[in-house]
Amino acid sequence: MITRRGFLQAAGAALAGLLAGCKREAETAVSRERVLIIGAGMAGLAAGQTLRQAGYAVTLLEARDRIGGRVWTDRAWPDIPLDMGASWIHGVDGNPITALAEQFGAETKATNYDSVAVFDENGRRLSGRELTELDKYAEELYDLFERARAELDGDVSLQTVIDRAVAAESLSQEEILRLNYVVNSYIEQEYAADSAELSLFEFDQDEAFPGEDVLFPGGYDQIVNGLAQGLDARLLHVVERVAYGDGDTAVRVQTNQGEFTADRAIVTVPLGVLQKGRIQFDPTLPAQKTAAINSLGMGLLHKTYLRFPEPFWDKRKHFVDRIPEIKGVWSVFMNIYRYTKQPVLLGFNAGSYGRHLETLADGEIVAGMMAALRGMYGRSIPDPEAWRISRWGLDPYSYGAYSFIPVGATGEAHDWLAEAVNGRLFFAGEATHSAYPSTVHGAFLSGQRAATQITTLIK
């Protein structure tokens, strides 16, 4: 099968500068300016290291009790780290995270999206010929979107285009279910949103680095911890207000643990936090920036890890998937055993169904995943021994997984969100990078960009 990540994206682009070495001290002994960075996720850490090496006095204010933001490795199981948020380096060739992985000695293993077993709604495993037919569905779907873009004057959702095509073709129920599986596994899982939310004109305007996708058997936090070396990160500091007025020579940041002042500040909190208005800005942000914040969508990719006494699935495959009767309901499972030799399966649920799952108790979520697995492998498979479940949509410091472009929005919103205000307030994070939104490398590059905006102001 063609790769999910590569399905709707163009191959890589140029890289805007790699981190010059996290352990190197700045050449300037006395810092020229003080900078506060709000958020110690990948964007904040990248900005902090860039500024620290340029001689600035940098303090990161992080609301959580840990650094990393949406890069979070859960180590509750001592023999296997679980990445609850970001998992992959998407496209290793020229990717800045690849350079960091090499620098910090973090082992990576490639994901083969073609290595997948797919079961139909009746629990029957699809043949090789049927898998090839699913590829054709994906190719035809992309052609359908291209034709619709050429024919339509106004933006509509992907699902609107799909529904019109289904009605015109008079597809059978089996064909509709298989089409829905392709839509979910190739698009909704990728963009963390329902096809009914995604913009036909803009949803795939992002770029991609070439090369394979790799993940970290030892945990993504190896990158976070390496990048944080030498930085002053204050945990459990919840930012409530940021004052950056023209008449003041300093930016004043009020937190639950007191006020901090600096010459400039970089805001790296997730789009969802900005949309919820969790931080008050004084003065209010410019109208174009506010419009950009409100126009983008904050998607959700929900993860459920189940640990079993031993594998009952095909240990060689990277994925075991299911064509459900209801689109997007427990469709995609990743074989963690393939990477760690531990009997763990990871279930993904995107968009609205992922948000629904977050409202349920752990036991209900586990029961739903087990019902899907038993439909594939039979009633005799064992119960899980343990589980770990993400809830990014309910997290008050993220309110989702990563950004997407909904109907009526434009990719330019990423650029508007990235613009500095009054030469004192700067913005970074995956939602501020128009070329690489929704990715760790996009967040990293955005942090470097914001830091460079500051260093070029004062020579």
Same domain, 288 and 322: no
Residue 283, number of CB atoms within 10 A of its CB:
11
Same domain, 321 and 454: no
Same domain, 404 and 382: no
Same domain, 320 and 351: yes
**Is residue 77 a part of any domain in this protein?**
no
Which single residue is written with the structure tokens 């004043």? 252
**Is residue 10 a part of any domain in this protein?**
no
Assign residue 457 the CATH number of its domain.
3.50.50.60
Q: What pLDDT is recorded for position 457?
A: 85
Which distant-in-sequence residues (6+ apart) come within 8 Å of 119 by Cβ? 125, 126, 320, 321, 322, 323, 375, 376
- Rounded CA gap, 12 and 61, in Å? 33
Q: What pLDDT is recorded for position 421?
A: 96
**Is residue 250 a part of any domain in this protein?**
yes
**Is residue 249 a part of any domain in this protein?**
yes
- Rounded CA gap, 112 and 357, in Å? 27
Same domain, 139 and 159: yes
Which residue numbers in the chain have pLDDT < 50?
Answer: 1-31
Report the number of distinct structural domains present in the chain: 2
Q: Are 3 and 113 in contact (CB under 8 A)?
A: yes
Work out the burial of residue 437: count CB atoms within 10 Å of its CB; fewer than 13 is exposed, 13-18 middle, 19 or more buried: buried
Out of 372, 394, 416, a domain closes at: 394
Same domain, 172 and 37: no
Q: Which residue range(s) make up the domain with 280?
A: 28-68+228-298+400-459
Q: How far is CA 19 from the centre of its chain?
A: 21
Same domain, 162 and 261: no
**Amino acid type, 420:** A
For 21-35, write each residue's pLDDT tens digit: 333 344 443 347 999
The size of the chain, in residues, is 459
Same domain, 315 and 280: no
Same domain, 318 and 380: yes
Strand 57-61's sheet: what is its strand order? 232-234, 57-61, 34-38, 264-267, 425-427
For 112-171, write each residue's pLDDT tens digit: 999 999 999 999 999 999 999 999 999 999 999 999 999 999 999 999 999 999 999 989
pTM of the entire predicted model:
0.92
Out of 360, 394, 428, a domain closes at: 394
**Is residue 458 a part of any domain in this protein?**
yes
Same domain, 123 and 246: no
Assign residue 332 the CATH number of its domain.
3.90.660.10
Angle, in degrees to the nearest 10, between helices 440-455 and 42-53? 30
Same domain, 279 and 326: no
Q: Backbone phi, then psi, for 380, in 5-degree steps?
A: -85, -5
Out of 340, 360, 394, a domain closes at: 394
Q: What pLDDT is recorded for position 11?
A: 28
